[in-house]
Each structure stands twice: as C-alpha cells, then as structure tokens.
C-alpha cells in the first residue's frame, strides 16, 4: 500500500502526479494526502502526521506500507513560519532548533512489526530540496543523518540527458552490499569505483589531451556503465 503526502505543493503538480498514478493503475493501492501551497502553515505542518497516522493504521493491520513525503523542505518552512509567529527564537538558517527532532520523530515511526503484533511494515521515502546543489545545508544534512541512505538527483546530469539523473558519487546506502544478492554483488562490486574514476578522467579528456591506452579503456568502460544506468 502506498501513501503519497504532498506538503505545500502546487495544485497543478499534484494533479499531474495523481494523473500519472491513475494512468498506470497505481491508484488502486495508493492514498494521496494533499495540502497546497496557499494553505495555512498549520495545515502544511500537520499533513505528514495525518498521512503517517493513516499508514500506521494499515501497518497494524499487517500490511506493508510505503509513505512518500513530498517534500520535507516545505514542512520545515511551515514549522519555521509557525515558530516565528509564536515568537520562538530562530536557530541555524532561521529554522527552529528542534526541527531535527521533529523530522527524526516523524521518520522513526517507520518500522517492521513482529509477527505477534501483525507483522506489518512502514517504509518512509522523504524528499528534500537542495539549494544550488548544496547537499550540506541544514535540512538536507538533518535528513541524511536520520535516513538509511540517499538518492541524489543531479540537475547537471539531467541537462546532459542522463535519466534518471542519479549522481552515483553522492548517492549512498548505509546498508551497502549486504542487502544485495550475491550474484548482483559480484557484478556490481567494482562498478561504483570504476564509474567514479571515469567521471574524473572524462573531465580531463574534454581538454583534448592525448590519452594512453589504459585511460581510453577506462573512459570507454565508464561510458558503457553510464549507458547501462540510463
């Protein structure tokens, strides 16, 4: 069961997502919780909690639930607005000091229940914005430290036509290869390192420098990896 929670999004973009889900038959098992950008900050703040309550209801019935928060940057801004209206002192980047605890308490509702408690599970997929690709800003680093890894979507790769625009260097899994099947691991073990080396060398190759045979092979191999990732 999937729950899509849109927090302070434009109505048009939410409508597009819902139309996409409906077109692919996903609305049969999807619940959509929506607050729009022009809604009161209190509504934007409470939307993910309402969605999580719905998710927990089904989890306790023994269902496996995925909840997508789109996005927690808007949630943090709504909380900042409420805090400033309540005359609370602003903290780092003008966000209240307890924004980390608010997001950690929300995301740590995700769990897998024991069989005697129903055996259901809740998986959270929070989305966060970066400003000027700054992954080390306050809200992104908070969420990275709470979650089990991140998928970083790069605008540079998107403009180059590499879709999905996943930056392999900045995308990290805390679980690592342990969750992979042995056959996958044997094939993909050295893939990330080879791809990172290729990206470094590709920059130099653009300057038209003369390359030795080994470097050409690394670049050729890297281009094939990129084609596979596409």
Q: How far is CA 32 from the centre of its chain?
A: 18
Angstrom CA distances, 177 to 24, 84, 192, 197, stand at: 31, 44, 12, 20
How many other C-beta atoms can be found within 10 angstroms of the C-beta atom of residue 86?
A: 8
Q: ∠ CA(51), CA(57), CA(62), 5° rounding?
A: 125
- Name residue, tokens 């309550």: 53
How many other C-beta atoms can be found within 10 angstroms of the C-beta atom of residue 188?
A: 12
Q: Report the DSSP pairing between strands 30-36 and 64-70.
A: unpaired
Distance CA 143, CA 108 (A): 11
Would you name the residues annotated as active-site residues? 174
């Amino acid at each position: 069961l999937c729950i899509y929670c849109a927090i302070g999004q434009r109505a048009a973009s939410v409508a597009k997502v819902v139309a996409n889900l409906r077109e692919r038959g996903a609305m049969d098992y999807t619940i959509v919780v929506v607050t729009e950008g022009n809604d009161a900050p209190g509504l934007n703040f409470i939307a993910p909690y309402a969605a999580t309550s719905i998710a927990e209801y089904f989890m306790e019935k023994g269902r496996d639930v995925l909840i997508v928060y789109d996005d927690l940057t808007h949630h943090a801004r709504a909380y900042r607005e409420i805090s400033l209206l309540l005359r609370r002192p602003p903290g780092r980047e003008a966000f209240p000091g307890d924004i980390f605890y608010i997001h950690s308490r929300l995301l740590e509702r995700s769990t897998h229940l024991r069989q005697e408690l129903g055996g259901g599970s809740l998986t959270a997929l929070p989305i966060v914005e970066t400003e000027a690709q700054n992954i080390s800003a306050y809200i992104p680093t908070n969420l990275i430290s709470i979650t089990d890894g991140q998928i970083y979507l790069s605008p540079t790769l998107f403009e180059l036509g590499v879709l999905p625009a996943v930056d392999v260097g900045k995308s990290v899994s805390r679980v690592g290869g342990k969750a992979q099947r042995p056959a996958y691991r044997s094939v993909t073990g050295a893939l990330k390192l080879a791809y990172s080396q290729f990206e470094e060398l590709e920059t130099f190759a653009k300057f038209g420098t003369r390359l030795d045979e080994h470097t050409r092979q690394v670049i050729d191999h890297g281009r094939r990896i990129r084609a596979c990732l596409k």
